Structure 1
Amino acid sequence: MSFLRLPIARVFSRPSVIRASCPSRLPFAAPLHPLRMASSVPAPRFAEGEDPQQLGPDTETLQQQGWALDADGMGVTKTFHFKSYFKAVSFVNLIAAESQTKKHHPTMTIRFGSVDVHWTTHHPRGLTHKDISLARHCDNGADLMGAVESGQGLKCGPST
């Protein structure tokens, strides 16, 4: 009988990722969100074929409305807060329906009372008019779904 023999270091060399819907219940500090780890504000990097003269002011307007450029400046990100998990999921479904129609999909992370949305274009790589347009759609949808300020959103744990 032959056994597969791998060194222990090789088996456990890949870092594990722990995702929890309620990070405050973890016995250790959760890692920072990768989109928020940038120490300086990047300049927007538009995709090839896009008009920076047109998208520049649109990007600035989004930033004034709470959107931030991601770490490499090739996308925009924002966290939306809700008073219920159902509203957060409904918001995700609203984004999913529009993004399927436009054939342009975001990266979304849903938590107990919030949703992180990240728009970027992969081909050609960079920020495009689709990202800007669908970020605006997110803002409109958040208003429709009753988004609230960060401190007013649903918190996990026992109610006080």
Structure 2
Amino acid sequence: MGLPRFCPRLLSCTLRTPNVASSLSVSTHLRVPGPVSQLRMASSTPRFAEGEDPQRLGLDTQSLLQQGWALDAEGMAVTKTFHFKSYFKAVSFVNLIASESSSKKHHPTMTVRIGSVDVHWTTHRPRGLTHKDIAMAQHCDNGAGLMGAVETGQGLKCGPSP
């Protein structure tokens, strides 16, 4: 039996097992539950884009990692999940990020849930982490404080109230 292969873009895993009846392989796609920042199959080494200062960015990246950010599987992006007590606060946080990212012409991938927002920063050209990703991640941390972010588990969840 093979080991699951992590697919960061699809957030799914592929498990290939040999079919005993024949020589074919069977693929099963498993959805990875939970927010992106909870995935611990991430790289431990950041990969910076060509032209960036690895010493300077390395320190800033380590600071982000100590604040709850994680590197993606390739080490080319930083991700974090922010939790909020209301859907409105989560959407307001997204709008705060959208406003700044529009002015900087650098946009994240975001997933909004009822009480949380997953944020993923990377640079596509040149490929890898850049000062823009680090600066925008810091902006997210500052904005989350302004929007009333809460600890994991304290955010709004779907379902009936207790």
Which of the five TM-score ranges fits, normalised by the shorter chain? 0.7 to 0.9
Question: How far has the Cα of 1:39 moved from its partner?
Answer: 3.0
Deviations 1:97-143 (A, max 9, x none): 00000000000000010000000000000000000000000000000
> What residue is the counterpart of 1:120 in the other structure?
122
| Superposed structure 1 runs of 4+ greater than 6 Å apart | none
1:82·1:146 contact (CA, 8 Å) conserved in 2? yes
Structure 2 unaligned residues grouped into runs of 5+ = 1-9, 11-29
Deviations 1:14-52 (A, max 9, x none): xxx9xxxxxxxxxxxx82169555535331000000000
- Measured in 2, the distance between the counterparts of 1:154 and 1:93 equals 19
> What residue is the counterpart of 1:78 in the other structure?
80
- Measured in 2, the distance between the counterparts of 1:87 and 1:154 equals 10
Give 3-state SS (helix, strand or coil) of 2:118's partner: strand
2:93·2:144 contact (CA, 8 Å) conserved in 1? yes
2:42·2:70 contact (CA, 8 Å) conserved in 1? no
> What residue is the counterpart of 1:46 in the other structure?
48
**Count of residues paired in the alignment:** 132
Cα distance change of structure 1 residues 53 and 76 upon mapping to structure 2, 3 Å threshold: same
Cα RMSD over matched residues? 1.8
Structure with greater proportional helix content: 1
Structure 1 unaligned residues grouped into runs of 5+ = 1-16, 18-29
Structure with greater proportional strand content: 2
> What residue is the counterpart of 1:31 in the other structure?
31
- Measured in 2, the distance between the counterparts of 1:54 and 1:31 equals 36
1:83·1:147 contact (CA, 8 Å) conserved in 2? yes
Percent identity between the two aligned chains? 75
- Measured in 2, the distance between the counterparts of 1:143 and 1:42 equals 27
Give 3-state SS (helix, strand or coil) of 1:135's partner: helix
- Measured in 2, the distance between the counterparts of 1:41 and 1:132 equals 17
**1 or 2 for the larger relative contact order (CA 8 Å, sep ≥6)?**
1
1:42·1:72 contact (CA, 8 Å) conserved in 2? no
Give 3-state SS (helix, strand or coil) of 1:150's partner: coil
Question: How far has the Cα of 1:151 moved from its partner?
Answer: 1.0
Within 5 A, what are the aligned runs for 1:1-160?
31-32=31-32, 35=36, 37=39, 39=41, 41-160=43-162
